Amino acid sequence: MSRPTERLADRAGADADIGSSAATGARERVVRLAETVTVTRTEDGLRLFRGVDSLRIKGPADALLVAANQLRAGISWVELMDRPSRSPMRQMERRLRSIGWIVEHDRDHGAGTSTERQVGYLTLFGADAVTMQRRLDSARVGVLGVGAVGSVLAQHLVGSGVRRLWLVDHDRVALNNLNRQFLAGRSDVGGAKTAVAARALRRLAPSLQVHRVDRQIRAAEELDALPANLDLLAIAADTPWDIVSIAWEWARPRGVPICVAAVGLGTGYWGPLLVPGLGHCWGCFERLRQAELTGPDALAEFDQGEATPYSFGPANTVVSALLAHEAVRYLASGECGVLNERRIIRFAENRMSYFSGSHCTCGASQDSVASMASPHTSHTSAPLEDR
Ligand SMILES: [Zn+2]
C-alpha cells in the first residue's frame, strides 16, 4: 500500500461526524455490489458497468441476472459460502471482488448526514467507501490562496466532508471578484478573503474548524503558521510567480503532499499533485515540462508570466472543480488522476492535453535514486468528448 494511503489511514475515523458504523464488525457480514455498478442483460450473459469501466460475464443470462440481483440486494457471507464454489453467484462474487466491485459496508452508512449520497459514489475510487469517507472527515487541508481557485476548492472540500481547513491569504474581497468567487457576496466586499470564506463555509458545515492565516507568502518559512501534518496543501495563488516552488520547499521535508491549479485566458490546468515520499519533485516536474513545450502548448504557457487581469467565472469553476475532484479522491483513497501529472484544458478548441512528470533526478527528493527514474511520457491533445 502506498505511503499516502497509510498516512491518510492513520487518521481515518479520528473524528468522523457521520453516523458511526463501529458496530458493523459485530453485525453479520454482508457482501453486495458496489452502489455505482449497474447491470444489463445481454444475449450471452451480463454486462456490468461502473463509471467508464465495463465488464462482460458470459454464461446463462437468467441465472447470472438472478445472482447479480441478489448481490445487489446484499447477501450474508454465511449464505454465500453455503453455495457451491462453482455456482454463478460464487464465481461472480470472486470475479467482482478481484476488481473492487464488491463492498461490505453498511448501505445506509452516513444516513441523515450531508454526505450520505457521496459514500456510494466513493466506491468508484475503491471498495471500502466507509473508510474513505472517514479519511475525508478527518483530513487536514491547507488552501494557499482563497481567491478564484481556492474558494471553489474549499467549498468542495467541505462539501465532501473535510472539517479541518487552514486558509492562507492576505487579500481582501473586491467587487470584481464576484464573477467567480461565490463564497462572497456584495456585503463582503472589503472583508478579508479568509474571514469571508470561513463564514460561508461554516454555513455549509457548522462543525468546521477553519484556521485563518492572513499573510502573504513570499518565503517557505512564512508557511510555518501551518501544521506540519497536513494531509494536503493546495496552491491556489498565482503570486509571487514562484509560489509553488516556495510551497514545495516547505512541504517536501515535512512529507506534505501539494496540488496545483490555475486558470488563464481560455485555458487552465489542474495538477500535479505531488507526494514527497513517492519520488515526486516540483523542480524536476517544471524543468521537464518547460523543456517539452512546443507549438500551442508553448503559446498557452501563462503561469510564468504576468497573471492575466481578466477572468471568466465558468472557466474558473470548471478548472477549480476538476482540481477539487482529484484532491478529494486523493484524500479519500491515496490515488488520483494527477499524481505527478498535469491536465491542461483549452476551452475554444474543447481539447485537453496532459503532461506526466518523471521521478526526481535532481537529488532534491529524499528517496530519489537512479533505479527509480522512469521514462516520462508527454501526450498530445485528445478531444474532450473522448475522455
Ligand atoms: Zn528533483
Q: Of 140 and 18, which is predicted with more confidence?
A: 140
The mean pLDDT of the chain is 86
Residue 16 maps to a domain: no
List the CATH number of the domain containing 332. Answer: 3.40.50.720
Residue 119 maps to a domain: no
Compute the distance from residue 364 Cα to the ligand 1 centre, in Å: 5
Compute the distance from residue 278 Cα to the ligand 1 centre, in Å: 12
Give me the residues paired with residue 168 across strands.
Answer: 144, 213
The DSSP output letter for 19 is P
Where a domain ends, among 57, 87, 104? 104
Residue 20 maps to a domain: no
Compute the distance from residue 135 Cα to the ligand 1 centre, in Å: 29
List the CATH number of the domain containing 86. Answer: 3.90.930.70
Q: What is the pLDDT of residues 174-204, one digit of tens each?
A: 999 999 999 999 999 999 999 999 999 999 9
Specify the pLDDT at position 296. 65
Compute the distance from residue 230 Cα to the ligand 1 centre, in Å: 22
Structurally, the chain folds into a number of domains equal to 2
Strands 232-235 and 209-213: unpaired
Q: What is the pLDDT of residues 42-59, one digit of tens each?
A: 999 999 998 889 999 999
- Looking at the fold, whether 64 and 159 belong to one and the same domain comes out as no
Specify the pLDDT at position 305. 55
For residues 309-325, average pLDDT = 96
Inter-residue contact 218 to 240 (CB < 8 Å): yes
Compute the distance from residue 340 Cα to the ligand 1 centre, in Å: 12
- Looking at the fold, whether 201 and 309 belong to one and the same domain comes out as yes
- Looking at the fold, whether 190 and 85 belong to one and the same domain comes out as no
Residue 113 maps to a domain: no
Q: How far apart are CA 272 and CA 82, in angstroms?
A: 48
Compute the distance from residue 255 Cα to the ligand 1 centre, in Å: 15
CA proximity to 286, closest of 346, 322, 244, 345: 244
- pTM for this structure? 0.80
Inter-residue contact 61 to 105 (CB < 8 Å): no
- Looking at the fold, whether 139 and 78 belong to one and the same domain comes out as no
Compute the distance from residue 359 Cα to the ligand 1 centre, in Å: 7
Q: What is the pLDDT of residues 285-311, one digit of tens each?
A: 999 998 888 766 666 555 445 667 899
In the predicted structure, residue 372 carries a pLDDT above the cut 70: no
Q: Listing from the earlier edge strand, what are the strands of the sheet with 53-58?
A: 37-42, 45-50, 53-58
Specify the pLDDT at position 299. 62
Compute the distance from residue 328 Cα to the ligand 1 centre, in Å: 26
Q: What is the separation of C-alpha 154 from the centre of its chain, rounded to a whole number of angstroms?
A: 12
Compute the distance from residue 280 Cα to the ligand 1 centre, in Å: 7
- Looking at the fold, whether 174 and 94 belong to one and the same domain comes out as no
Compute the distance from residue 363 Cα to the ligand 1 centre, in Å: 5
Compute the distance from residue 284 Cα to the ligand 1 centre, in Å: 4
In the predicted structure, residue 339 carries a pLDDT above the cut 80: yes
Q: What is the pLDDT of residues 216-275, one digit of tens each?
A: 999 999 999 999 999 999 999 989 999 999 999 999 999 999 999 999 999 999 999 999
Specify the pLDDT at position 27. 61
- The domain of 301 spans 132-386
Compute the distance from residue 332 Cα to the ligand 1 centre, in Å: 27
- Looking at the fold, whether 54 and 188 belong to one and the same domain comes out as no
Specify the pLDDT at position 17. 38
Provide the residues around ligand 1 (an ion) whose CB is within 5 A.
281, 283-284, 360, 362, 364
Residue 241 maps to a domain: yes
Residue 326 maps to a domain: yes
In the predicted structure, residue 9 carries a pLDDT above the cut 70: no
In the predicted structure, residue 108 carries a pLDDT above the cut 70: yes
Residue 286 maps to a domain: yes
- Looking at the fold, whether 100 and 146 belong to one and the same domain comes out as no
- Looking at the fold, whether 65 and 205 belong to one and the same domain comes out as no
- Looking at the fold, whether 97 and 136 belong to one and the same domain comes out as no
Q: What is the pLDDT of residues 126-168, one digit of tens each?
A: 888 999 999 999 999 999 999 999 999 999 999 999 999 999 9
Compute the distance from residue 282 Cα to the ligand 1 centre, in Å: 7
Compute the distance from residue 352 Cα to the ligand 1 centre, in Å: 26
Cα-atom radius of gyration of the chain, to the nearest Å? 23
In the predicted structure, residue 316 carries a pLDDT above the cut 90: yes
Where a domain ends, among 84, 104, 124? 104
Compute the distance from residue 245 Cα to the ligand 1 centre, in Å: 12
CA angle 359, 243, 316 (to 5 degrees): 95
240, 244, 247, 249: CA torsion to nearest 10: -110
Q: What is the pLDDT of residues 61-100, one digit of tens each?
A: 999 999 999 999 999 999 999 999 999 899 999 999 999 8
- Looking at the fold, whether 328 and 182 belong to one and the same domain comes out as yes
Residue 114 maps to a domain: no
- Looking at the fold, whether 165 and 230 belong to one and the same domain comes out as yes
Compute the distance from residue 141 Cα to the ligand 1 centre, in Å: 24
Compute the distance from residue 362 Cα to the ligand 1 centre, in Å: 4
- Looking at the fold, whether 215 and 281 belong to one and the same domain comes out as yes
Specify the pLDDT at position 26. 47
